Structure 1
Amino acid sequence: MIAVVIPFFQRQPGVLARALRSVAAQQGCALPLRVVVVDDASPVRARDELASAPRGLEIQLIEQANAGPGGARNTALAALGADVDYVAYLDSDDEWSVDHLANACCALERGFDVYFANHLQLGAEVAAFERGGRLDLARHPALEAPAGPLHAFGGDMVEQIVCGNVIGTSTVVYRRAGRAGQRFRTEYRRAGEDYLFWLELASGGARFAFSTAIEARYGRGVNIFAGVEWGSPAFLERTVDELRYRRTTLAEFACSAAAAAEARAAIERLRLAHAGGLLHVLRHEPGAAPRALCRYLHVDPLGLLKMPWLLVRAGLSGAASPC
């Protein structure tokens, strides 16, 4: 059994139906499917959207107070029964290619624990693997598989995620055995929630396989990052969340020298970005500055020692542009 986990929070009707049609259209997958849709207090009710769901698709609907995408996925994970072998993630505004689950099963049945695939991000004409340029296929052995261009991930996945993540959430399928209790860290809702889940899988010894084929197309739905303008209070909040994520990777996962160096460099970049944003807020929304500074110091107390220098650097570099 494959459980397809879909967190749902949308403002426009018809989005969920497209995702469900892509699930129902899967070919070559012998395992039965069960879709778990978690309505995360969505303005458009999932119950209404399911009226147009494809026939024959087993769907379980759970409704809850808003907890964010990670919280919604956690609710679905907690509801899964012992008959579930694999868990697949699909965001409600994304769609799969017809061979996605067949390719995933091909890899997982060969002993791999986690599968992911190439994908097209919103508005992109070039696939994510090619755009990012972070995968050298010569380092990742090809698997003889009739289902498609599959590869065993041959590097250090923790280092890969920390230095340049290649995993798209809506392409992930993983083996549930031994991982039934793993959950998303919802306190990282604005930054790193998904990455930390993959890092926990990797640090736990999971073997990864992937496909270079485009197996997911990301759609235009509700995005928690939409409308976040540079220098706004929301920008400062997101920067602090990213800083918290990077500090966590450094403390818990960055074992290799390259991963540790990247985590430290990212922390310095985020400190400077926050200082620039804080200068902008001080000029344009001074009333929001004390709360933003307190939140920052709660996450990065040592940053207080560097704050005067960071503010000077931000001002000199133009990071605090009044525009």
Structure 2
Amino acid sequence: MNEKSDAPTVAVLIPYFQKQKGILENTVRSVLAQRGFDDYKVIIVDDGSPVSAESELVSIVSHREKIRIIQQKNAGPGAARNKALENVPDGTGYVAFLDSDDQLDPSYLADAVSALDKGYDLFFGNSRRAGIEKSRFEWDSIPGVTLDLTQHRLIDEAHELYEFVGDFFDFVVFRSNIIGPSTMAYRYRVGSNVRFNEKIYNGQDRIFKLFLCRQAKKVAFSPKEYAREGKGINIFDSAGWGTERSLSLLSSYIEMCKFILNNIPMNARQLAHVKRHLAQTRYAFTASLFHQTRHGTVDWKLVGKTFVSDSATLLWLVPNAMKVVKVKSRADRS
């Protein structure tokens, strides 16, 4: 760890693994272009990236004192984020994450720090993902679980900052996807013990957010769009079924739901919601397997591993497959 005198107000942590040149450079430049706030350190963990972080940032010379690159063998995004957290300098006030293919709005860090300096433990803002028309705050959700600005307290009109009014942990159980991976900053001492689950490859963000939000007492947010995110995949949409990554993602999500149920204290309503999500994920896994069997090559090793680790997915295979056939038949007739 660095000495306390070297500690920045904000540590911006970037896990990095990319095959295409120029992506990380654009991301880092969006941090360096921040306006109204300059006391930050960018910590990049090169997770064995095919395009190295050093080669990406060779043209960035004038601000290299603000950037630290840590090399490690490929271990996945959770391990890379944990390595970055282990290297946050002692005395750092706040931590923010940034995905290596996302770009920040120039006002993000100043607004986040403005909110956190008011005594809030967590700040999050809106963002927009490539290929999706609506912003995260506008994504479809369970009825009644929306972020209605009129229900929250305006604390800074100039920067459009609000205090979240209500039980934020309960809100996040139902709407964890409202917090983008690159528009969340928190008081480091509040979440200094929170780490990413390295065994669950996908769904790590959700687990991390749930643990962190159980500890955050006061939360602020802004509806401003602070980040442009790289393109993702909606594996719960029929367009995502049968894609190359879908079975792997869904298998991870099954493990994620089970981990949440077994490790995060929740009330009956919250538990019921996660159990419904688990059932939906098992159905989506079956649907994706059905589509991939017909149109592509199936990773049967992964399928077998999923059935072994979660016998309920196998138990519900036939009922869910029958449901998939019925849904497809109705779609074909319409």
The TM-score by the shorter chain falls in which range? 0.7 to 0.9
How far apart, in 2, do the equivalents of 1:40 and 1:50 lie? 15
AA in 2 matched with 1:193: Q
Decide which of 141, 146, 149 is 1:137's aligned counterpart: 149
1:229-279 deviations in whole A, cap 9, x for unaligned?
623674222212111212223333362444223212222222222223334
Q: Residue 327 of structure 2 corresponds to which residue in structure 1?
A: 317
Q: Distance in 2 between matches of 1:281 and 1:82?
A: 49
Residue 28 of structure 1: how far off its partner (Å):
2.0
Q: 1:245 aligns with which of 247, 256, 259?
A: 256
Question: How does 1:215-294 map onto structure 2 within 5 Å?
Answer: 215-219=226-230, 230-231=241-242, 234-253=245-264, 255-280=266-291, 288-289=299-300, 291-294=301-304
Are the counterparts in 1 of residues 289 and 298 from structure 2 also a CA contact under 8 Å? no
Give CA-to-partner distance per residue, 1:62-103, whole Å, 9 cap, x none: 111112222111111111221311111111221111111111
Aligned equivalent of 1:127: 135
Q: TM-score, normalised by structure 2?
A: 0.83
**Retained in 2: the 8 A contact 1:122–1:218?**
yes
Indicate whether 1:299 and 2:309 are aligned.
yes
Residue 26 of structure 1 corresponds to which residue in structure 2? 34
Tell me, yes or no, if structure 1 residue 213 matches structure 2 residue 220.
no
Q: 2:5 maps to which residue?
A: none
Structure 1, gaps ≥5 residues long: none
Residues 175 and 280 of structure 1, relative CA distance in 2, 3 Å threshold: same
Using the TM superposition, give the Cα deviation of residue 175 of structure 1 relative to its aligned residue in structure 2, in angstroms. 0.9
Structure 1 counterpart of 2:117: 109
Task: Summarize the alignment of residues 10-89 of structure 1 with structure 2, pairs less than 5 Å apart.
Answer: 10-29=18-37, 32-53=39-60, 55-57=62-64, 58-89=66-97
Change (3 A) 1:232 1:28: closer
1:168 to 180, 189, 210: 180
Matches of 1:38 and 1:92 in 2, distance apart?
10
TM-score, normalized by length of structure 1? 0.86
How many corresponding residue pairs? 314
Partner-residue secondary structure (3-state), 2:316:
helix
Contact 1:106 1:145 survives alignment (8 Å): no
How far the C-alpha of 1:188 sits from its partner, in A, is: 2.1
CA contact (8 A) 1:20 1:53 kept: no
Kept in 2, the 8 Å contact 1:149–1:211? The answer is yes
Amino acid in structure 1 at the alignment position of 2:82? N
Task: Give the 3 Å change call, closer, same or farther, for CA 224–74 of structure 1 in structure 2.
Answer: farther
**What secondary structure sits across from 1:112 in the alignment?**
coil
Percent identity between the two aligned chains: 33
- Aligned AA for 1:138? T
Gaps of 5+ in 2: 1-7
Q: SS in structure 2 opposite 1:188? A: coil
Structure 2 letter corresponding to 1:242: Y
CA distance in 2, matches of 1:172, 1:253: 21
Secondary structure at the aligned position of 1:23 is classed as: helix
Alignment partner, residue 151 of structure 1: 162
Superposition CA RMSD, Å = 2.8
1:6-27 CA-to-partner distances (Å, cap 9, x unmatched) read 1111222222222222211222
Which stretch shifts more, 35-44 or 292-301?
292-301
